[in-house]
Chains A and B, each alone.
Chain A
Amino acid sequence: MADPMKIRAAMAGDKVEVKVLMAHEMETGQRKDASGKPIPAWFIQSVTATCNGRTVLAAEWGTAVSKNPFLSFRFRGAKPGDKVAISWVDNHGDKRTDEATIS
């Protein structure tokens, strides 16, 4: 079971600024363990953000994204009190969705 994300969402002028910290290993598949065996790739493949039923961000990620990724983005068309939901799915099919209220 994946750990919860840390999400901050706040108005910045007429836009909403969202900052997300995700807990994920983001293994590239290029590394080897102490015994020399390759460590299998394990990374977040898709990220979506929705607000009021509208997708405001959709991204496809790969192995170039760091461990415990940090994502920041802005979008228009929401007000304080609305909720932003972030979801990710990794290449194991593991997924996680968390929500934050815009302040």
Chain B
Amino acid sequence: MKPIHRAAIVLCTALAAAAGMVFAQEPSSTEREIEKYRAALGEDNPAELWEARGEALWKEKRGPKAASLERCDLGVGPGVVKGAYTVLPKYFPDTGKVQDLESRLVTCMVTLQGIPEAEAKKNHFGSGPKRSPMEALAAWIASQSRGMPMNVSLSRPEEQRAYEIGKAMFFYRAGTHDFSCATCHSRDNQRIRLQDLPNLTTPRDAQRAYTTWPGYRVSQGELRTMQHRLNDCYRQQRFPEPEYASDAVTALTLYLARNANGGVYDGPGVKR
């Protein structure tokens, strides 16, 4: 009996070793296959349809003041769109706040076009024929930073404060599942089902993630902004949905954007 028993143990060990090897290799092959799928879609990304709509919206005279957004200051001067996405979120002296792209667009719609704030924020996530001007504008504005490195500044005390708040939010554990963003996004090589989860505390993963949003989500058939992505993360954590264009979301966005500094912007991307 004894020799057989020993042989069985040896066999088990060999199997475990083989299984270990398979597990070690599997994520990389899965990753490769997903990359192929993304590449096939990426060449003809439906986000382009949103970009075209966004450009038209930027130039269209809207609101009670019948004005376009062409004089909107997105952080690189009034009316300058090129490169704007790479410096956001940032501090704006006119509002005295750190703002991300979406909250800044709300400001411009209010000040330039005379659209009431609640109205500007109302239709922020589109669904089918009910389209969101925000998503289209964000797609076009972001596309105008393609090929440029992320360059988010922390030179102002307000920006440093927002970064610290965003960081605290990232690591804040709460809710029915005692989750934080960091639960999934602060270790290497984690995944949910087939999706690899970026470790957003490291520059490499933060760059890869941040520089491909906004993105066309194939599963929704819609273009989604960074705020939508963050809301979705909070939904998965069973948190209440953050308020649209709020200071809290801007702070978290600033934390992620800053961690992605130096990464070359490559969006709007294609997402699952």
- State A101–B46 Cα separation when bound (angstroms): 21
- Whether B221 contacts A4 by the Cβ 8 Å rule is no
Per-residue CB contact flags for chain A residues 7-46 toward chain B (1 = under 8 Å, else 0) read 0000000000001010101010000000000000000000
Known contacts A21-B46, A25-B129; is A68 also within 8 Å of B52 by CB?
Answer: no
With an 8 A cutoff between CB atoms, is A95 at the interface? Answer: no
Residues from chain B with a CB closer than 8 A to the CB of A66 are 221
- Whether A25 contacts B128 by the Cβ 8 Å rule is yes
Known contacts A3-B52, A67-B221, A68-B49; is A21 also within 8 Å of B128 by CB?
Answer: no
Partner of B53, one of A3, A27, A72: A3
- Greatest chain A CB density within 10 A among B48, B49, B53, B221 is at B49
Partner of A3, one of B44, B49, B128, B221: B49
- State A72–B40 Cα separation when bound (angstroms): 12
- Whether A70 contacts B49 by the Cβ 8 Å rule is no
Shortest CB-to-CB span from A7 to chain B, Å, is 11
Residues from chain A with a CB closer than 8 A to the CB of B221 are 66-68
- Whether B129 contacts A21 by the Cβ 8 Å rule is no
- List residues 64-94 of chain A with CB under 8 A from any CB of chain B: 66-68, 70, 72
- Whether B49 contacts A6 by the Cβ 8 Å rule is yes
Per-residue CB contact flags for chain B residues 41-70 toward chain A (1 = under 8 Å, else 0) read 000101011001100000000000000000
- State A23–B49 Cα separation when bound (angstroms): 7
Specify the chain A residue showing the minimal Cβ separation from B216.
Answer: A68
- Whether A4 contacts B46 by the Cβ 8 Å rule is no
Residues from chain A with a CB closer than 8 A to the CB of B53 are 3
Query: Considering only CB atoms and an 8 Å cut-off, how many residues of chain A contact the other chain?
Result: 13
Per-residue CB contact flags for chain B residues 77-117 toward chain A (1 = under 8 Å, else 0) read 00000000000000000000000000000000000000000
Shortest CB-to-CB span from A30 to chain B, Å, is 14
Residues from chain A with a CB closer than 8 A to the CB of B52 are 3-4, 6
Partner of B48, one of A21, A25, A72: A21
Residues from chain B with a CB closer than 8 A to the CB of A70 are 44, 46
Per-residue CB contact flags for chain B residues 119-140 toward chain A (1 = under 8 Å, else 0) read 0000000001100000000000
Residues from chain B with a CB closer than 8 A to the CB of A23 are 46, 49
Residues from chain A with a CB closer than 8 A to the CB of B129 are 25
Partner of B49, one of A19, A21, A72: A21
Specify the chain B residue showing the minimal Cβ separation from A39.
Answer: B128
- State A4–B48 Cα separation when bound (angstroms): 11
Per-residue CB contact flags for chain A residues 50-76 toward chain B (1 = under 8 Å, else 0) read 000000000000000011101010000
Shortest CB-to-CB span from B134 to chain A, Å, is 17
Residues from chain B with a CB closer than 8 A to the CB of A3 are 49, 52-53
Specify the chain B residue showing the minimal Cβ separation from A72.
Answer: B44
- State A3–B55 Cα separation when bound (angstroms): 13
- State A15–B50 Cα separation when bound (angstroms): 30
Specify the chain B residue showing the minimal Cβ separation from A23.
Answer: B49
- Whether A19 contacts B44 by the Cβ 8 Å rule is yes
Other than the given A3-B49, A19-B44, A67-B221, 7 more pairs (CB < 8 A) read: A3-B53, A6-B48, A6-B52, A23-B46, A25-B128, A68-B49, A72-B44
A-B pairs with beta carbons under 8 Å apart, 23 shown: A3-B49, A3-B53, A4-B52, A6-B48, A6-B49, A6-B52, A19-B44, A21-B46, A21-B48, A21-B49, A23-B46, A23-B49, A25-B128, A25-B129, A27-B128, A66-B221, A67-B221, A68-B46, A68-B49, A68-B221, A70-B44, A70-B46, A72-B44
